């Protein structure tokens, strides 16, 4: 799994590339925890290049989302498609996190 980080005015965009599973999910948690430790609290997670997410990946999202919320921040999800979208629909994660079709749409929501 790889990350591309882009700081915008309203939020930090974190593009997750590859697979988020039991092996890589801790890397995601560590990456976001480090950014939160540095004062970041608003995130847009871009799943446009995420090929697969397992239950461990869903857990990592939930844990980081809870920490973001405890900091008074927000975590929005964007560009969810394919098999990842199916997993989100089946698991009900679409009701837990605000989901947007594009990063631009999520940035607009973060600015409100």
CATH hierarchy code of domain 2-103 = 3.30.750.24
pLDDT tens track of the chain, all 112 residues?
Answer: 999 999 999 999 999 999 999 999 999 999 999 999 999 999 999 999 999 999 999 999 999 999 999 999 999 999 999 999 999 989 888 888 899 999 999 999 999 8
Here the tokens at position 104 are 């631009």
> Parallel, antiparallel, or unpaired for β 2-7 and 12-20?
antiparallel
Contact 88, 57 (CB under 8 A): no
* pLDDT value of position 45: 98
Contact 101, 36 (CB under 8 A): no
Here the tokens at position 53 are 């997410």
* pLDDT value of position 30: 97
- Tell me, what DSSP letter sits at residue 3? E
* pLDDT value of position 43: 98
* pLDDT value of position 93: 84
């Amino acid at each position: 799994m790889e990350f591309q980080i882009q700081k915008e005015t309203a939020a930090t965009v974190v593009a997750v590339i590859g697979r988020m599973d039991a092996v890589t999910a801790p890397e995601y948690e560590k990456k976001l925890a480090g950014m939160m430790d540095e004062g970041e609290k608003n995130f847009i997670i871009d799943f446009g290049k995420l090929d697969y997410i397992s239950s461990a990946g869903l857990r990592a999202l939930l844990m980081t989302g809870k920490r973001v919320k405890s900091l008074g921040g927000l975590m929005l999800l964007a560009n969810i498609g394919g098999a990842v979208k199916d997993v989100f629909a089946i698991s009900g994660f679409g009701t837990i996190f605000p989901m947007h079709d594009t990063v631009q749409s999520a940035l607009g929501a973060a600015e409100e």
